[in-house]
Chains A and B, each alone.
Chain A
């Protein structure tokens, strides 16, 4: 009974290119008439997901239902979906009219009807009088409109848009965003929009699907995603944010940056480590007074057009980004406070690194594809499978790949106010998480060292 309401249902879809898994067990349902945006950084698998729905790729595992029927193995020309390609993919050998009429001609519709339909969509995309033009003679924005017209003239159940505005300049992009939104309202069909631009996603969508590393991180309305990010990746990717380590002391009471704050979150338990997200525009900044919950010193202030973006350092050594209409001089001590409802508490995804390991002998253990020295290995029978815990602080990073026990690449950096939380990808495709005060760049190749004392073995 659900099937008639949902236009697309994706069940346990996984896909890999060679040994690289790009989509890992994706489940997603899209309702009829929804505007859904798949949002994520490049390489997160969003385009692959779209190509699976369009039929250009065949899923390694899982099922795709479109309009109630299983289309997992249906070739693209038999699917009730049409695509607007990233670089438009207009046929250079056909003029505007024949580009738009391509799909209708294949359906062998009478030519009067084709003409009527083409003229209709040309009106929708405000391109009347352009039907005889060569597609190469059109501007980027006009080509974009023709590409959209060519897709919607076929009256698909779902319109797929693959970063359709990426090639346009900022001003043009903003205008087209509004037009696409208006078109969606007018046509009433389902739009599935793929983008890496969080602002675009927030502006356009009914529902946003945030993806990272082949997995769906969060599904929700733009406000839900913005105000209640489920984890630090989403919080960091959507808008600007301060992400800090904290402790949930009790229901409605959280401690971070050395102070206790009232908040509206509960149900985490007592004294549980959490991540705290503060949006920079939610922090009140004012002349030092009794109203201040805590204080800080302005270290930088940049004018951003509408507001000023200031970095404030607290006496406890935490750096916080604040956006406000008022300017405060660099070096000034300011008062700060936060409303309970503006403190967003997230469960920590992990408290330390956990790896699967094997005891090699009395003083060695193997994990991450490397054999480490470990005195406590003697307590376990050799060959036994164990879990290994390593604290974020106990992983040492070196500039030269050769200096470390194993090499890795910095793949994600999160600033936590007083330190960085790094995600490092090893050659074995495993993630190591590291807390450090040193500054590294995304993509840095580094050496990783773990000292014998830092390895904690846990019997399974």
Chain B
């Protein structure tokens, strides 16, 4: 009788898991051939010596997007495309010291005035495609400091609601544009195991 119970649990789990997949935002890894036409052709000049090349798809209801991620010349790139394969933006992981002093000072001021306690976990420089995809890629891979670029910060915070995580976007001058609450990943299943 006891030996039969694991089979039951596994069957139950698959039923629950298949229900759970509906109506959820989902991001997953895909093969290169699943990318929209034209994506690889657009990136071909930039992928020489790229390491850890990975392709992802994100589905949120009816909407899909694609992401190509890799490491090149010790820099981590993340390039996002819409569902038709049109370039949306290029993000590049940077350090605090890669941001000019003046905009970083403004960002710090904003963070201090909006969060009691914070820790910067990750900074990305973002080149948004405003119409010319080839030019946007060129500027991003030249790592140029331009007035139209943006910075995206992931911060961990502590305030009256406890610990949280936020994703903030600033323009090149350090002016705050957007704040989104990030979903914290749970750790209970590892912590007390």
Instruction: Determine if chain A interacts with chain B.
Output: no
- Where the two chains meet, the residues of B that have a C-beta atom closer than 8 Å to any C-beta of A are none
